[in-house]
Structure 1
């Protein structure tokens, strides 16, 4: 990395966790401040290096670990952090007298570039270090950062870029993203030596069987307590905030020795998160239950065990989490995977094999979002007047927006200037204007303040602040959950039992309670199983000789399935039809993830309705889609013809909530609809009302509006996973294995037991699921024929 820096090259560093990536990324900066490099010159003033992190917690952790070598070497380097949690007076000082090294996030960097002094502030910039680049480069945060890098390169032409990651499936794609103008030859690929292989195992019930259904894996709580007691520090990862609270409560209920256990997720208050991060750094906790909020790069060397509750969903994500243990290259990380059900066992097994084989997965790159580009354009105007030609050069220098031509940028500028044809008569949408000399500027200075209040990429569901009467904040819950509570209701949050006192504006005022009734649920997007991991699971099912590696109950499950029906094979689609409780069921084993199966369920039931098959509903999991109705599906292949993704898909999305939801997000990101005004924050209902009103106007009068196009792009890629739906249809076009059965098959039990419970948070109804699944399993696993109805 030092050689690449000295050669003036950009660099992508790919190395195992614990190899010293962060210090390697900073080494050219540290070297620049050594006496030998300064050669008697004065210490340079101004901002020298930007460190970009996907998480605020990671930036603070890096600051803590970077200060030690700086102090030990006596280097004259000032290091500070900047995020949404940074006090406003410190932010103002950083703009006037910046540190040498600033640790920040993509959003905070984008905001810094909106100030008039940005040109002076970044003129001295020499390096940008992007940590954990895989965590955001392929999404909208990556689009925002790419545009910021394009602007920085224009302000500081000699700027060097460095990106760091432990888990990249396609390094060349990331080199293209990192390079100005996509010139990957200008980006050195630096690869670290392999570290000690991780020791990953799957936790199994001692005497009972692996559950048929459910996600919380609460069967493992007694064994987890034993593991926590046997290790110095254990990090327990869950896939959702609900499960973090749920598992934390279950561990505390079983914690007879009162071992110190904490909880950490993104909805907790800044104070609560900092408190637990500090306790972990000091070695005061024996276990910490967390979500993706601690996925990345946190360096707590005393962690000697990582636990993944439920399915890992991808080998790269699993490797990232495993790497939190030991955090040393020469020390194997120890990890336990705890499957919640039998399909999750197969997924965990496939993930272990992928880790052993060193195979990675991850999302691919796609064109940058137009809503993000609109936000960036408004930010450029806040910093001062700009020319269209100069902006186009900066935008096109990024791989995400290399496809944008002069006409495309003019369309975005027209939107920012007027809101579009249908909205141009409203003054509040007039934010920028073209001067006679061709340059663009703000129509009024107040637009800059409003932009900085509302800028950002992460559009969560609207939240309510949870506070005690004395004002102390515990964190946030979603407005939909909080609005359903009344005074006297109780819930568990941040590991505390709380009673509602009142709901004032956007504050949920609470007090301590002695009983708890529920845990807040969150509407975050579900993580689907990765394409790579799904392919491994299908291959495992087809490898009958390999079943000997599985526990007896899993092997028996697959053997009875193979005897009574078929098993899904690579390149083929298994479909089963069977009667159950006077209805006709059809199961599609797609292994394409929840989003894709949910979309497919909507489309298939619409076709069934058109063909008079009287569908009554469907249930989707990561692995299976089951539809049911009053009449049997005789020819499932006819329901899966590729033309379903033309007229029927478009009609369904247009008339569903999906496009409205996507429009709400792009309208907020683009700045068309503001969440905050000076001294006031809109409620979620107010934002939804505003976006729904504008959406209806645009659909009627300007259906080709820029934001309608952006909403469609989001709906296709993120909300419906249409590319994976297309993969199912492509497989169906080659071969459909349609098996007609006299009753439910063993493979259908996990999904069928979810019916009626799929809208609940994962884990909320696990006990009920287990009872329902056992009843269905008894029927499915019986190998003798069913008796005649008269017997």
Structure 2
């Protein structure tokens, strides 16, 4: 940017003295953003953890507010800077870090947070008397834009800072945020935008997302790239690292229970550790197991999104104060949290993505010139390879790329209704505004009209039902084409159901003192958080489960609350959560395939894993980088087909469903399938490997690309997957509300309502805008159709069929997944380990 950080001449004297009092010098990228702000330009800053990225984003705002206060101490205050974070915890953390320089320089600047945890009275006061700087989330931005005073509230806005932008841009939350930014551009035309990110594979794509789509390259933001920090120190925990060769690496499973004693020793050896897991279920399990090992009574805490807000805030405050030795946490803490005393990050299981690992490593040691330390803990043998691939990617600074996507139509419907709640809108003017949001730049006027018609009437099939009429003509004057919200009840319904994150129906968990088979109203007790309704439905009074770090005994239901008491049960169930698992990224999957194909990369692997691969090469063959290995073998009274696409669980599940249909037509009589992140196993009554000998199917025909045509359509028509996806789209679009004043719908009520509407639309309006949104979601999310298509294209003409007389070493892990009982989750893995011995012995027998 042409500015020299060493002189610091661009900083106001007050700020320069503050830097000097800390023994700091302003960094070049901090001064670059200050210079761009003075020129009225927007910027995307890409900077490593510990480089002062957050201060760089806010420095222009602090300097501007300080100058305004000096020039006019009696100035009328208004919202100056809006900070948008993907996480509530990050918004709170950034506020705390920003308050330090404001207090030390005695700046008359007010800073507040506004999230779903903010009390209602404070939110109302913020709308009347906004702070200078407001820290919030995309959902709260959408809510603020829905009020009639939005123009006045945002009229003074000078800057919006979007933190960890990469984590938002490529999702439905990103679609909602982009639409909100387009509206802000109308309310505050001179608004500057500042995007902050530490991990960006495609900066130019993120720059286009950040700015309005005007077709003018001059309107794009400047990209500022800070120098990289010190290379992280990353280890992969294996038996050799523990110094105990007798500790075996499991063939299957996801708990990493075998490594927890070593993880506890690592916690003891460091000041503060963050122990990241990939699911809330695993968080509960790991926390409980660490407490069983905690003979030193170390202060170890638990943090995930289903815990009550007070518990989460208490953990965050204790971490900031330096009073905890470890926190077991999910992705609720893996973006941007700045706790300088964290000297070790532990990732339980494989990270599933190179960018996610880089983010988590960045939570350790927020000092740019010192390396962050991380330890990866593979849960099974395949994960050893994935961890090594992720480690290599992190050391190279490689990142996962963004997935191309178009803006979701259900999110657009929600935004259209939100605009109408604020003020009447002209459809043509709103269309132009929506097109300026990057995800919607290709939206046709016809599709936009269908969305507006859907919000207005529900569409052709539903327009005769008054409950779906949410917009009406403004009709203030002749020729007024504007539309407005149909009633105050519609506005209230919108505000209570805003957002794009659709969790499974939840029940509050309340701790009570009285134990009994019948719940008693008014028993008091504190809330622990929320748990999914489907899990509670499976419990009987007296059953026990892990939650919020406690072993709990289920006592019964009282309206929308699950009443529980403390228990000492030895084998509690572990709740699982809908949509909780991360998919394996395409980039990491390709690196794992490469490790199989290049033996020189095996040197970093522990001896048991190397031996596993060598026996596989001797018994069968190893997968290549671009081919598809298919193994067929008998076991018991069944015949198995196992393939190794390495494309992630979602893609493999879709492939399994489609292959099952084809094998059924071929006469193989398939009985079922199971998918892992790395492989897919199907079992049949007839040998699928002999299909080609009966001239019914060759392997090339079985894996032909045309399976994504009629086979996919036929399967979708029969499955319940589209109904579940439709329910989420209906909730996001506002067609079905989860919450309404004075009532809360149960999960069964919501499902019943959405299923009825889905059936009506399928029969009478199959091209309905919500059905299109449903198909798009299913294809890109639950089915991962694009990834299956790329895989089938990649392996065309490169399918390697290997007929075996028994199970191969590589097939053992996926076969061990057959028959797992999901409700007990990790607790069953000890039993599975015992049951696996025969299968492992069979696979590794040399004769």
TM-score with structure 2 setting the length: 0.91
Q: For the structure 1 residues 761 and 414, does the alpha-carbon distance in structure 2 shift closer, same or farther, using more than 3 Å as the test?
A: farther
Note the C-alpha offset of 1:564.
Answer: 1.6
1:371-382 alignment to 2 at 5 Å?
371-382=410-421
Q: Is 2:227 the partner of 1:188?
A: no
1:475 is matched with which residue?
529
Alignment partners' CA distance in 2, 1:411 and 1:102: 35
CA deviation digits over 1:478-532, x for unaligned, max 9? 0011122233322221111222232011111222223262122212242121111
Aligned residue in 2 for 1:90 = 122
Gaps in structure 2 of 5+ consecutive residues = 1-32, 512-522, 690-697
Structure 1 segment 730-741 matched on structure 2, within 5 A: 730-741=793-804
Q: CA deviation at 1:184?
A: 5.6
State the distance in 1 between where 2:544 and 2:615 align.
46
Aligned partner of 1:387 among 415, 426, 430 = 426
Partner of 2:100: 68
- Alignment partner, residue 584 of structure 1: 639
**Contact 2:69–2:75 at 8 Å: present in 1 too?**
no
Q: Could you give the per-residue CA deviations for residues 351-400 of structure 1, whole angstroms, max 9, x where no partner exists?
A: 01001111001441300000000000000010011111221121000110
- 1:751 match: 814
Q: Which residue does the alignment assign to 2:586?
A: 531
Given that residues 700 and 797 in structure 2 are in contact (C-alpha distance below 8 angstroms), is that contact kept between their aligned partners in structure 1? no
Q: CA deviation at 1:253?
A: 0.9
Q: Distance in 2 between matches of 1:486 and 1:752?
A: 31
Residue 728 of structure 1: how far off its partner (Å): 2.1
Answer yes or no: is 1:522 the counterpart of 2:585.
no
CA distance in 2, matches of 1:696, 1:212: 44
Aligned partner of 2:17 in structure 1 is: none
The 5 Å alignment of 1:325-344 reads 325-344=364-383
Q: Please give the root-mean-square deviation of Cα atoms over the aligned residues, in Å.
A: 1.4
Aligned to 1:255: 294
Tell me the alpha carbon deviations over residues 565-602 of structure 1, each in whole angstroms, 9 at most, x when there is no partner: 11111111111111111211111100000000001000
1:433 to 459, 466, 472: 472
- 2:614 matched to 1:551? no
1:33 pairs with 2:65: yes
Specify the SS of the correspondent of 2:582. Answer: coil
Q: Does 1:203 align with 2:242?
A: no
How far apart, in 2, do the equivalents of 1:653 and 1:508 lie? 35
Please tell me whether the aligned partners of residues 213 and 773 of structure 1 are also in contact (alpha carbons under 8 angstroms).
no
Paired residues of 1:43 and 1:76 also in contact (CA < 8 A):
no
Quote the Cα distance in structure 1 between the aligned partners of 2:491 and 2:53.
37
How many residues in Structure 1 have an aligned counterpart in Structure 2?
A: 784
Alignment partner, residue 693 of structure 2:
none
- CA 369–17 in structure 1, closer or farther in 2 if over 3 Å, else same: same
After superposition, what is the alpha-carbon deviation per residue over 1:272-301, rounded to whole angstroms, capped at 9, x for unaligned?
A: 111111111111111110101111111111
Question: Are 1:666 and 2:709 matched, yes or no?
Answer: no
Determine if the alignment matches structure 1 residue 245 to structure 2 residue 284: yes
Q: Which residue of 2 aligns with 1:763?
A: 826
2:752 is aligned to: 689
Q: Distance in 2 between matches of 1:734 and 1:169?
A: 31
Check whether the contact 1:15–1:166 (CA below 8 A) recurs between aligned residues: yes
Give the counterpart of 1:51 among 75, 78, 83: 83
SS of 1:288's partner is strand
**Match of residue 709 from structure 2:** 646
Instruction: Measure how far apart 1:762 and its partner are.
Output: 5.0
Q: Aligned partners of 1:390 and 1:168: how far apart in 2?
A: 34
Does residue 1:219 correspond to 2:255, yes or no? no
TM-superposed CA distance for 1:406, in Å, is 2.2
Distance 1:363 1:481 in 2: 34
After superposition, residues 317-716 of structure 1 pair within 5 angstroms as: 317-434=356-473, 435=475, 436-468=479-511, 469-515=523-569, 517-634=572-689, 635-716=698-779
- Structure 2 distance, partners of 1:184, 1:191, is 19
Three-state SS of the structure 1 residue aligned to 2:826 is: coil
> Aligned partners of 2:569 and 2:803: how far apart in 1?
50
Q: Displacement of 1:734 after TM fit?
A: 2.9
Contact 1:749–1:776, Cα closer than 8 Å, also in 2: yes
Distance across 2 between alignment mates of 1:726 and 1:121: 47
Q: Deviations over 1:629-657 (max 9, x none)?
A: 01112332221111110111011122212
- How many angstroms apart in 1 are the aligned matches of 2:834 and 2:653? 25
Contact 1:126 1:159 in 2 (8 A): yes
Q: Which residue in the other structure is 1:787 paired with?
A: none
**Relative to 1, partners in 2 of residues 1:713 and 1:764: Cα closer, same or farther, differing over 3 Å?**
farther
- Cα distance, 1:772 vs. partner? 3.4
- Counterpart in 1 of 2:19? none
Residue matched to 2:12: none
Deviation at 1:724, TM superposition (A): 1.1
1:314 and 2:348 matched: no
Q: TM-score, normalised by structure 1?
A: 0.97
* 1:198-219 alpha-carbon deviations (Å, 9 max, x no partner): 0000111222231111111111
Farther off after superposition, 108-117 or 176-185:
176-185
* Alpha-carbon offset, residue 38 of structure 1: 5.0
CA contact (8 A) 2:280 2:580 kept: no
Q: Deviations over 1:12-48 (max 9, x none)?
A: 1111111111111111101102248954575451101
Q: Please give the secondary structure, in 1, of the residue aligned with 2:507.
A: strand
Q: Which residue of 2 aligns with 1:789?
A: none
SS at match of 1:765: helix
2:272 aligned residue (233, 237, 244): 233
SS at match of 2:398: coil
Contact 2:279 2:580 in 1 (8 A): no
CA deviation profile, 1:513-560 (whole Å, cap 9, x unmatched): 232621222122421211111111111111112222221111111111
Q: Is the 8 A contact 2:630 2:643 kept in 1?
A: yes
